[in-house]
Amino acid sequence: MGIGVTGVILTQWRSTKAVCTCLLAATFSLLDASSVWAQRKKPADKAVQADQPPAVQMLEYASPRVIEMSIGLRVTTRDGALVQTVATTVFPTTWPEQQVEIVETNMPSGVQHAFRDLPGNNRQLVMTAPGIPAFQTTEGTLKVRVTKSHIIGPRDPSSLVIPNNKQLSREVKHFTGNSPFIDASNAEVRKIARDLIEQEPENAWQHVKLIYDWVRENIKYTKGEMKDTRKTLRDKAGDCEEMTSMFVALCRASNVPARCVWIPGHCYPEFYLEDADGHGFWFPCQAAGTESFGTMQDHLPILQKGDRFKLPEKQESQRYLADHLTSKKMVGQQKPKVEFIRLLLGDAANLKVDEAPSAPPAP
C-alpha cells in the first residue's frame, strides 16, 4: 500500500490552484516503481524534440525576451534510505513562440536524467537514483534558457475556416473530444454552442470570437476549488482554469479544435483554424485577464500545451503533467521531504501573471 506525502514546491511566482495543487503537486509513494524505472528513454543531450511544429506564417513573433530557469528536484531523507527512486516533472519545449536550450547540468553522482517525450510536443524530465542514503539531501537541476516572444495575430483572419473534422490529423483531432474537467458533450454546453451559431457570425474568426465573448461575459472571475464545465455553468464563476476550460469546451462543441496552455501560475486557451489551402494554425487568447483574442503578449515560459495525457504511472487520463516521485522501497520510518524546483532566475522572477480581468474603463 502506498504512503502519500505532499512535497514542497520551490517557486518564485504566485501560485494558483492549477499550478500549486495540481501541476506542481508532488507525491511520494512507496510503490513498485519498476514500470517507471524502466522508462529511462532518450538521453538528456537535447533540449528540443525532433518533431517540432513548423513555423507559422500567419502569426508574427515580436519582442523576444531571454529567461533562465532552474528545473529539478531536491529530496531530503531522514532515517529512511530510498531504493530505486524515479521522479518526473514537466519540462518546457520549443514552440514557434518559444525556443529552449539547456545551458547547465547539475546532477549529483548516482542520479541519472533523461527525457520522456509525449504526444503534442510535450516533455517530462525523468530523474532516477538507484539509492538515496538516509540523512542526506540530494539535489539535481537543469538550468534552462528560454527565449519567449509575443504573438501577433493575423492581419486579416476573414478567410480562415473551421476545419473538416474527418480530415484532421491525429494530433489535432486529439483536441476535439472530452478531457478531464472539460465536457464538450454536455447538453448545456452544446445548447450554448448552437445558440451562438444561430447568431450567424460572418466567418469562423467571428464565430470563435462569439464563444470568447460569451465566456468573458457569463463566467465571473472568482478564485476557488477546481470545477468541471458542468459546475462552472451552474455557478457561472471560476478562475483562469474554469474560464479556459469553458472556452475549450464550447469550441470543441462547435467543431473547433482547442486546447489549454500552461505557464507558471496561469493557463489560457488556443483554438485551431485553417486557411483556404487547408493549412492549420493555433491562435491564443486570454480567457481570464486582459482581453486578448488571437494575440498573446506574455513572456512567461510555456510549460506544456494540452489537457489530456496518458502516463504509465497513472491509470486515468491526466489534465496536466503533475510532478511525481516513486520509490520501490524505503528503509526506515520517517518520510522524506520532496521539493520539486521550478525557479525563474534573475529579473525573470519579477514577471507577473495577467490572470484577473481588467476593470472596465470609466464612463
Give the Cα separation of 73 and 26 in Å (integer).
Answer: 10
**Overall average pLDDT of the 202-224 stretch:** 97
pLDDT at 19 (0 to 100): 41
Q: Are 132 and 126 in contact (CB under 8 A)?
A: no
Give the Cα separation of 215 and 264 in Å (integer).
Answer: 22
pLDDT at 22 (0 to 100): 35
pLDDT at 75 (0 to 100): 96
Q: Is 121 left (phi over 0), alpha (psi -120 to 50) or beta?
A: left
- Of 18-22, 273-277, 297-301, the poorest mean pLDDT is in 18-22
pLDDT at 147 (0 to 100): 98
- On the question of pLDDT at 51 being above 80, the answer is no
What residue spans of the chain are helical by DSSP H? Answer: 34-37, 170-173, 187-197, 204-218, 229-235, 240-253
**Overall average pLDDT of the 295-314 stretch:** 94
Give the up-direction half-sphere exposure of residue 338: CA atoms within 13 A in the CB hemisphere: 23
- Of 32-36, 48-52, 291-295, the poorest mean pLDDT is in 48-52
Give the Cα separation of 277 and 355 in Å (integer).
Answer: 36
Which band of pLDDT confidence, cut at 50, 70 and 90, is reported for residue 17? low
Report which of 108, 129, 207 is spatially closest to residue 163, judged by C-alpha positions. 207
Give the Cα separation of 328 and 274 in Å (integer).
Answer: 48
- On the question of pLDDT at 168 being above 90, the answer is yes
pLDDT at 359 (0 to 100): 44
**Overall average pLDDT of the 120-147 stretch:** 96
pLDDT at 331 (0 to 100): 87
**Overall average pLDDT of the 292-319 stretch:** 94
Query: Each residue of 243-258: pLDDT tens digit?
Result: 999 999 999 999 999 9
pLDDT at 27 (0 to 100): 46
Report which of 224, 274, 226, 273 is spatially closest to residue 246, judged by C-alpha positions. 226
Q: Are 159 and 276 in contact (CB under 8 A)?
A: yes
pLDDT at 24 (0 to 100): 36
Domain regions of the chain by residue span: 5-57+69-91+106-140+312-347, 154-284
Give the Cα separation of 120 and 311 in Å (integer).
Answer: 13
Grid cell for residue 271: 483554438
- On the question of pLDDT at 363 being above 50, the answer is no
Other CB atoms closer than 10 Å to residue 124's CB: what's the count?
A: 22
3-class SS of residue 226:
coil
Domain 154-284 fold is: C8orf32 fold (3.10.620)
Alpha carbon distance, N-terminus to C-terminus of the chain: 62
